[in-house]
Amino acid sequence: EIVLTQSPGTLSLSPGERATLSCRASQSVVSTYLAWYQQKPGQPPRLLIYSASTRATGIPGRFSGSGSGTDFSLSISGLEPEDFAVYYCQQYGNSLFTFGPGTKVEI
């Protein structure tokens, strides 16, 4: 099973700043199968990025994903008040899905 580790656990930033979130895998991940989600309190997760770098439908351009192999990142340029949330990476491999533990982006 591929284990995903996210860092930092919590990121304290101000509106307008840039956020960079890391997702590291215990084994190489097929980039096509790496996704990022945003979750706000009391809501289900929302797909942000798939295939490591493709924004999902309706996702603003300030969200971008990159990486390959075992190291992936999600960047949010110019944080908006609605971006303060928890972010999860997720991968698929060997018929199993795994999520990272999440990074909380807080004010």
Partner 1 sequence: QVQLVESGGDVVQPGQSLRLSCAASGFTFTSYGMDWVRQAPGKGLEWVAVIWSDGSTKYYADSVKGRFTISRDTSTNSLYLQMNSLRAEDTAIYYCARLTANWNFDYWGQGTLVTVSS
Instruction: Provide the binding-site residues for partner 1, judged by CB under 8 A.
Output: 1, 32-33, 35, 37, 39, 44-47, 50-51, 56, 88, 90, 92, 95-102
To partner 1, the closest distance from the beta carbon of 8 in angstroms equals: 15
Residues 85, 49: contact at Cβ < 8 Å? no
Tokens of 30: 């097929």
Whose Cβ is closer to partner 1: residue 37's or residue 63's?
37
Whose Cβ is closer to partner 1: residue 15's or residue 32's?
32
DSSP H or E segment with residue 30: none
Q: How many CA atoms lie within 13 Å of 19's alpha carbon, on the beta-carbon side?
A: 30
Whose Cβ is closer to partner 1: residue 15's or residue 27's?
27
14 vs 80: CA distance, rounded Å: 9
To partner 1, the closest distance from the beta carbon of 16 in angstroms equals: 28
Using DSSP's 3-state secondary structure scheme, residue 83 falls into helix
To partner 1, the closest distance from the beta carbon of 15 in angstroms equals: 25
Whose Cβ is closer to partner 1: residue 16's or residue 27's?
27
84 vs 11: CA distance, rounded Å: 10
